[in-house]
Amino acid sequence: MTINVKAFFQATNPGKALFQDNQELEKKYYIDFSCVRGGQIIEDLKDNIALWSPDEPTCQLFTGHIGCGKSTELWRLKQQLEAEDFHVVYFESDKDLEMGDIDVSDILLTMARQVSQSLHTLEEVKIEEPKGLKSILNGVSKLLHTELDISAEAEFGVPGVGQVKVDQEGLEFVALGIGKITAKAKASPQLRSKLRDYLGPRTNGIIETINQELLEPAHEKLKQYGKNGLVVIVDNLDKVDSSPKPWGRPQPEYLFVDRGEQLASLHCHVIYTLPLALRFSNDYGTLTQRFKSTPQVLPMVSMELRDNSQCVEGMRLLRQLVLARAFPNLKPEQRLEKITEIFDSEETLNHLCQMSGGHVRNVLRMLNEAIKKQKGLPISRENLDKVIQNLRNERTLAVEDEEWELLRQVAKTRKVTGDDGYQRLIRSMFVYEYRDDEGSWFDINPILKNTVELNY
């Protein structure tokens, strides 16, 4: 079997989550890391909905380092809940929202749009005209008549469909009207400011309207249709920028702590991703009270154990992540016989896995860059080391003087505290979180371990 280098290169795209395109092929790419990540985290999220509270709304939080595989796991969760007869609406928030400047009203409107659009595809689910939501949209249209026009018979461009003429009846108007508002707001700070001034004081009323006109009727209609209810998965909110609001409050704390109670007030099952650094915030206790739940954490794949010995199972599974992208149709043991078709030696594959620190996206990123550097296969240790050195240079430039001292402390103690400096280490991915039977522990990103500054 000869490897198609271009196909292998595309299969190692670090920016693409599994299960979004060719689901049958991507099932073969998927590796279950739960045994080296501290347990069945997705099972817990599913059980909280399907087993323990199918008829009562739940609000759950899911976090982990950016790129550790959360989106892939959420797609698996979507499939599992659909198999349990739930109607699941999954969307990536950063496609609709400006992550550097988000308010609760933006999230609420985007959720209303996504749910309306999804329900509209179900011919059997008919919901009465959402007059309150239409009134909100018409109020926005009147306020912003020079920037935005939602007319009685507007034409909206829908990806994959083209121009669609819509009247003011039903979910079509809500979905496409909000889509037009959010698209313009994402591109214009001035428009976002005007919208916040208008929508901010009305937030509680907007929540009540969404619940009464959209979510509660959807739940009842779905039950009549033979479904168990509605689940909304809001992905990529963990990417929200940490910059402060104009009054000085960091944006993540503002959204999930100050306004968390509103985010948790929707009458359907909701799962939000949130920034991992919030787990180390002084406001973490308040956050868990607002949401009445503790965030589920997806840690890194363990490459080492607490005592610095190698995690054999973690290494075995991460090697399979790489090999499955080249040989998806082979059994795991058969793939091992093909290592030297991709790398000049087995040790080079092991080094790739070790230097990733168990960060799934970084494994793929380094592999993807090494294929380009090699301009083919097999990848040599020399070219892999060049890729690693480039990444090390990028990371080193971003570390401030006081952060090096914090990193030395993490190396000694394997702990992270709630200090602001440690939050920066987590947010910048200078430090990774792992989990075993004893709980969480932390280690330095392997890319930084051999730097002169760390060992000074």
Q: What is the mean pLDDT of residues 306-311?
A: 92
Percent of the chain exceeding pLDDT 90 equals 74
Whether the per-residue pLDDT at 336 is higher than 90: the answer is yes
Is pLDDT at 261 greater than 60 in this prediction?
A: yes
Residue that the structure tokens 């920066």 belong to: 424
C-alpha distances in Å from residue 359, one per residue of 270, 299, 342: 26, 9, 20
Q: What is the mean pLDDT of residues 372-391?
A: 97
Which has more confidence, 162 or 42? 42
Question: What pLDDT, in 10s, does the model give residues 179-210?
Answer: 888 888 888 888 888 888 999 999 999 999 99
Containing H/E element for 205? helix 203-210
In 99-153, DSSP assigns E strands to none
* pLDDT band for position 147 (cuts 50, 70, 90): very low
Q: Give the total number of structural domains in the chain.
A: 1
pLDDT for 165: 36
- Residue 308 covered by a domain: no
Give domain status of residue 292, yes or no.
yes
Residue 333: φ, ψ to 5°: -70, -30
pLDDT of residue 169: 52
Over the range 151-176, which residues count as b (16 or more CB within 10 Å of their CB) and which as e?
A: eeebebeeeeeeeeebebebbbbbbb
Q: CA 110 to CA 91: how far, in whole Å?
A: 9
pLDDT at 342: 97
Query: What are the strands, taking DSSP E only, across 184-302?
Result: 230-235, 269-273, 296-297
Comparing C-alpha atoms, which of 417, 405, 416, 404 is closest to residue 443? 416
Position 210 in a domain: yes
* Other beta carbons less than 10 A from residue 181's beta carbon: 25
Average pLDDT over residues 429-450: 93
Strand partners, 270: 59, 232
Sequence-distant (≥ 6) Cβ neighbours of residue 194 within 8 angstroms: 143, 144
Residues with Cβ within 8 Å of residue 208, at least 6 apart in sequence: none
Distance between CA atoms of residues 107 and 110, nearest Å: 5
Which residues sit opposite 13 in a β-bridge? none
Predicted structure pTM score: 0.91
pLDDT of res. 161 = 31
Q: 99 pLDDT band (50/70/90 cuts)?
A: very high
426: pLDDT confidence band, cut at 50, 70 and 90? Answer: very high
Q: Answer yes or no: are the C-beta atoms of 148 and 141 closer than 8 Å.
A: yes
Which helix H or strand E contains 182, and what residues bound it?
helix 171-187
The per-residue pLDDT for 125 is 81
Q: Tell me the β-bridge partners of 63.
A: 297
Q: Is the pLDDT of residue 419 over 80?
A: no
- pLDDT value at residue 163: 36
Check if the beta carbon of residue 89 is closer than 8 Å to that of residue 231.
Answer: yes
Q: Given this model, what pLDDT does residue 21 score?
A: 66
Cα separation of 372 and 388, whole Å? 13
Instruction: Say if 399 falls within a structural domain.
Output: no
In a domain, 380, yes or no: no
Domain span at 244: 39-297
pLDDT at 66 over 60: yes
Question: What confidence score (pLDDT) does residue 456 get?
Answer: 66
| Structural domain contains residue 438 | no
In a domain, 195, yes or no: yes
Residue 111 lies in a domain: yes
**Radius of gyration of the chain, Cα coordinates, nearest whole angstrom:** 24
Q: Residue range 408-433: average pLDDT?
A: 90
pLDDT at residue number 311: 96
Which residue, 449, 100, 143, is CA-closest to 246?
Answer: 100
